[in-house]
Structure 1
């Protein structure tokens, strides 16, 4: 095992829901081995209240969570990213900044947790959380130090195709 801490950036267009959930999940499940961040191409400027509600229910501290631009992570003073994952389809199709060091990347698309009423939205956010939890749990279990680039890419892509908690 390496003592390296891996930096991971989760991208979504608005950086208000799925990428925020993923950031919190990885910071918890990664147990110090990973440092997660999130950002968006067109940040909404606020975290979705349903995301905040769910995270609070799950025991996460939500102070300091904010919707932010991916520009914060593409400049010379930004932390070096080891991994970049898109969490929504729009972000996967957008032209991203050039990330220094060519981090490993994959699309881990999660359906937009929208609904017609509050209960439908809560259920959709719960489903998004559960799917992200499953993917992130599998990611943190990978033997990163022993995978070559091709094997790592295959694993990351397979994680992106996962459904639910496994």
Structure 2
């Protein structure tokens, strides 16, 4: 059986100041929860040298692709070879000032405000994790595009009766 589902994943860039905690958490959560429909990226205005250890601690259990997480500059996503983003999500006040015209195409800009307790207090990164998780789940529910229906190729050499059996699961 030969089918054709051609849909490009929606690309989402998460931005924060240092790309060491908040945007890293958002990238990892979106990739893990719905990597079939979304390509997740993260970057920072002033990227840190490495991902914050506590952020990696929140992600350590049950997350694949941790090796893909590393701080990057947002400028990497404005270059001539950068992928076109569908959404740019800012996670701090500094990154909220970014001009989305710097990116290819016309990405939709979103700003996620986290409660003040997500900064500076004991357990702040754990608190941020849960806030971002809720935002990512809401984002997926609101922005996921359905897959186009599967269409069978007429040139696949499949007779209609046999195809009907394949589709009905018999």
TM over 0.5: yes
Q: Secondary structure at the match of 1:63?
A: helix
Determine the structure 2 residue equivalent to 1:85: 89
The count of residues paired between Structure 1 and Structure 2 equals 141
Q: Provide the C-alpha distance between the structure 1 equivalents of 2:111 and 2:60, rounded to a whole number of angstroms.
A: 27
Whichever of the two has the greater Rg, that structure is: 2
Q: Secondary structure at the match of 1:84?
A: strand
Runs of 5+ consecutive residues of structure 2 not aligned to the other structure: 147-170
Q: Provide the C-alpha distance between the structure 2 equivalents of 1:88 and 1:2, rounded to a whole number of angstroms.
A: 35
CA contact (8 A) 2:37 2:144 kept: no
Determine the structure 2 residue equivalent to 1:105: 109
Alpha-carbon deviation of 1:2? Answer: 7.6
| Bigger relative contact order, structure 1 or 2 (CA pairs below 8 A, ≥6 apart) | 2
Q: Runs of 4+ in structure 1 displaced over 6 angstroms?
A: none
Alpha-carbon deviation of 1:65? Answer: 1.4
Coordinate RMSD, CA, aligned:
2.3
Determine the structure 2 residue equivalent to 1:3: 7
Runs of 5+ consecutive residues of structure 1 not aligned to the other structure: 147-166
Q: 1:29 aligns with which of 33, 47, 51?
A: 33
The Cα offsets for residues 23-45 of structure 1, whole Å up to 9 and x where unpaired, read as 00111112310000000111112
Q: 1:73 aligns with which of 53, 74, 77?
A: 77
Q: Provide the C-alpha distance between the structure 1 equivalents of 2:11 and 2:99, rounded to a whole number of angstroms.
A: 21
Determine the structure 1 residue equivalent to 2:120: 115
Alpha-carbon deviation of 1:94? Answer: 4.5
